Structure 1
Amino acid sequence: MRKAIVVGGGIGGLSAAIGLHGIGWEVTVLERAPELTAAGAGISLWPNALRSLETLGIHLGKLREQASGGLHDRAGRRITRWDAEAFRRHHGRPLAAIHRADLVDALRDALPAGCVRTGTEVTGLDDLDADVIVAADGIHSALRKQLWPRHPEPVYSGSTAFRAVTALPHAADLSTSWDDGAEIGVIPLHDGRVYWWASYVTEPGIRHEDPKAYLRSRFGGWHEPIPELIEATAPEALLHHDLYLLGTPLPSYVRGRVALLGDAAHAMPPFLGQGGCQAIEDAVVFAAALSDTEDVDAALKSYDEQRRPRSQAVAKASVQAGKLGPQLRNPLAVAVRNGVARLLPGALTARAGAGVSGWIPPVPRRPAPPRTR
């Protein structure tokens, strides 16, 4: 049986391990954290990710399919309407959301016991012995740095973000709200809680002694339920991260028998909601490529040829979406953008992003069951 080592127990690494296990490989996942956990935030699963998870055999029971919502300005005036049924028609699946912890739990439970080794930090390749090594160790990947030591480090996107999951005494609708250089998103989850985030343009590294008080002063004048969400969120539930990306695309996702996957390969800003989705795509393509041939080198070459152009194009589009959307600060440009967006018919806005989310994953070939006499 061929062996693979996956470095990194995040969404991409676990998905890759599931794909490899499904095609008959022996897989070990090495995760440096003492336990498999996920930050207390949600994740949007676009149709391309849902199809990929289904292809891997993962059927999530804690998904919340998003109902109709819209894009607003800070006062709550509608910029565009988002129609859930029209979205489903054009994209083939709904837009869904799940708590990251629930997704990580589902992925971990799909793997054999003992497959994941936590508390194991990998800083280099010398001690790893396998037919294939998957580097899924995140945006600041140590393995990427070892393989491409002269490649530029990740760069700051220009925005920082707060994220949290909290409960409200009433239902909240899907919404995104923009102001000059700022964005707040609200996504309902399956259990009645709400995943929300706030991003805004600022210098990197700025932190606040009382983050909740800062958010109250910065966004307390926005439309409901934004002030209510801030008030309902426990201070310890707030996550604050500067948003970085791999600004210079890699020349390859493969070197030798090592394949990069997820943020290690193509870290992107979150303005299209595709970071985790692209990592799941990577995983299913990786498994499919290895299932198609006994030639591992040929399979890795195929993986790179399939994934690098698409994921790098999505990363580039994510940067552009930020510049034209929540990072746009010129008041005149903001007014023009919002005015043009208000004139767009709902049928057109429902199709936005279909070129990305309409992607159909390849199906890995499962090994034939043993013959019985």
Structure 2
Amino acid sequence: MTPHSLNVAIIGSGLAGCLAARILREQHTVTIYERETAKAEAGAAINLGPNAVHILNSVDFDRRRACSIPVTRVLSYNKQGELTHESIHDYVQEFGTDWLFHHRVDLRDELLRLATAPSEELGLTGEPATVRFGARVVGGDVDEGRLTLEDGEVVEADLVVAADGIRSIMRGPVVNDDAYITAQPSGSSAFRFTMSREKVIELHNGEVPEIMDSSKSGTLFGVYALDPTERRVIMYPCRNYEILNFAVLAPDNMLKTPASSDSWSAPGDRDEMISLFTDFPDWVLKYFRAAENIKLWQLRMQDPLPTYIRGRTVLIGDAAHAMTPHQGQGGCQAIEDAEGFRLFLGDHVTRANVPTILEDFDRVRRPRASQIQLNTSQAMARHSAKEIYRFRKFNFTYHGIFEELRKIKESEKVGQLDHGGGEESKRESDLHSAVGICRCRQCQTDS
């Protein structure tokens, strides 16, 4: 190791942890501590907006390996089956790159490859990250960069990256406020399942439905109750059109048995799912009746945190800013977080100034992700697709850690960091004040 090379410990090998390892391996010695004993990744499909895809492009992300599907259309229907909104966008022209659909396993596998593949394969200097599976972190000293594993081993690090998800072991010690230790129920739960291409075609009497037609661009279908229940069904293809993904959202107070807050993969009841959506089109219920291996989990959200950093430790991904899927930005913000570790590349980096560099990380990432958390909370209460996607421009526009930090510093010089208002709830006002969220019109709506 050189004076500019750090010993980095990353907790968690999910999307945020793997991409953080890919960035940091360019200069530092990186070890990922993963509590699971194998590289299993839970979940179904995930979509990534251009704000995240720009970052993936910069690290030679292989779309072929990840089975990516570019998206250009969003079709929205009401519960009578009537088309209420059609959005067609050339995202490359508008935002400089694609909006992509993935199966979460495929995406995680590609990010893990980027973190651990031989350097010569990726054209990098430095050593690949090491992943220690079955290494559960049970505590540590966030100021000193010290971790304690379940077997009693103590790990010393110059930088600790807590990418350990919504139930982060490090959130409490970093924030030091009991109010933020546990993410709170959002009031909704999601039934999740996937269906094979063959099964979908069978349900359509041997015909390939539009949503699975690989000769056309990727399309997201949404069916909305447009009533106070805020029920909705979201479906889109992934894995090169080999799988159709379903997310079926319903309020907790309509469920016979509330989703478990202790498991993200509890079984869901098909009959109950159908009973909650009997007023939806039969072409939706046809999929429900054929669904297998349904999962049900309670959607949880975190109020914006007052800090992501303490000492030598930083929270990223769901550990920092858990949010519901209503804006499709949870994974995107994790990827933006990981890109922020480019602040740790260069000859200015030493063990002594890690806390100072983390302050710049926090100045950029926390206001941005906190704003998207609040926008997502608003999107939960929106009935129409047009309202739900009103923050798209803000969400999809991000210029990377260095440019965003430059803009913040320039704004501070002229006193424009907080530059505008409009009415807001007292809760949102308090949160804005606590975390330094920008309240300008651009951040609050799509122009």
- TM-score clears 0.5: yes
Output aligned runs, 1:239-318, within 5 Å: 239-247=295-303, 249-285=304-340, 287-292=341-346, 293-294=348-349, 295-318=353-376
Question: Among residues 116, 136, 139, which one is paired with 1:124 in the alignment?
Answer: 139
Query: Aligned equivalents of 1:119 and 1:132: distance in 2?
Result: 21
Query: 3-state DSSP class of the match of 1:9?
Result: coil
- Please say if residues 83 and 350 of structure 1, whose CA atoms lie closer than 8 Å, have aligned partners that are also in contact: no
Query: Aligned equivalents of 2:61 and 2:105: distance in 1?
Result: 15
Output aligned runs, 1:42-57, within 5 Å: 42-57=45-60
Q: Which residue of 2 aligns with 1:135?
A: 162
Q: 1:199 to 1:84 in 2, by over 3 A?
A: same
Output aligned runs, 1:1-373, within 5 Å: 1=1, 2-22=6-26, 24-61=27-64, 62-85=67-90, 87-112=91-116, 115-125=130-140, 126=147, 127-152=154-179, 153-167=182-196, 168-169=200-201, 170-171=208-209, 172=211, 173-179=219-225, 180=227, 181-189=230-238, 190-203=240-253, 206-207=258-259, 211-223=269-281, 225-234=283-292, 236=293, 238-247=294-303, 249-285=304-340, 287-292=341-346, 293-294=348-349, 295-325=353-383, 353-362=392-401
Q: Which residue of 1 aligns with 2:437?
A: none
Query: 3-state DSSP class of the match of 2:165?
Result: coil
- Please say if residues 41 and 105 of structure 2, whose CA atoms lie closer than 8 Å, have aligned partners that are also in contact: yes
TM-score computed with the length of structure 2 as normaliser: 0.71
Unaligned runs of 5+ in 1: 326-336, 365-373
In the TM superposition, residue 56 of structure 1 has moved relative to its aligned partner by: 2.9
Query: 3-state DSSP class of the match of 2:185?
Result: strand
**2:131 maps to amino acid:** V
**Higher relative CO (CA 8 A, sep ≥ 6), structure 1 or 2?**
1
In the TM superposition, residue 28 of structure 1 has moved relative to its aligned partner by: 0.5
- List per-residue Cα deviations over 1:210-253 (Å, max 9, x = no partner): 7111122222542254223223322x2x2211011112x22211
Q: Which residue of 1 aligns with 2:144?
A: none
- Tell which deviates more after alignment, 7-16 or 31-40: 31-40
Count the aligned residue pairs: 339
Query: Aligned equivalents of 2:191 and 2:164: distance in 1?
Result: 23
Identity value in percent = 28
Query: 3-state DSSP class of the match of 2:63?
Result: coil
Query: 3-state DSSP class of the match of 1:359?
Result: coil
Query: Aligned equivalents of 2:382 and 2:359: distance in 1?
Result: 35
- Tell which deviates more after alignment, 27-36 or 68-77: 68-77
- Please say if residues 284 and 363 of structure 1, whose CA atoms lie closer than 8 Å, have aligned partners that are also in contact: no
- Please say if residues 224 and 233 of structure 2, whose CA atoms lie closer than 8 Å, have aligned partners that are also in contact: yes
What's the Cα RMSD here?
2.4
TM-score computed with the length of structure 1 as normaliser: 0.84
Q: 1:210 to 1:265 in 2, by over 3 A?
A: closer
- List per-residue Cα deviations over 1:236-274 (Å, max 9, x = no partner): 2x2211011112x22211100001101111111111000
- Please say if residues 9 and 29 of structure 1, whose CA atoms lie closer than 8 Å, have aligned partners that are also in contact: yes
- Tell which deviates more after alignment, 207-216 or 118-127: 207-216
- Please say if residues 252 and 304 of structure 1, whose CA atoms lie closer than 8 Å, have aligned partners that are also in contact: yes
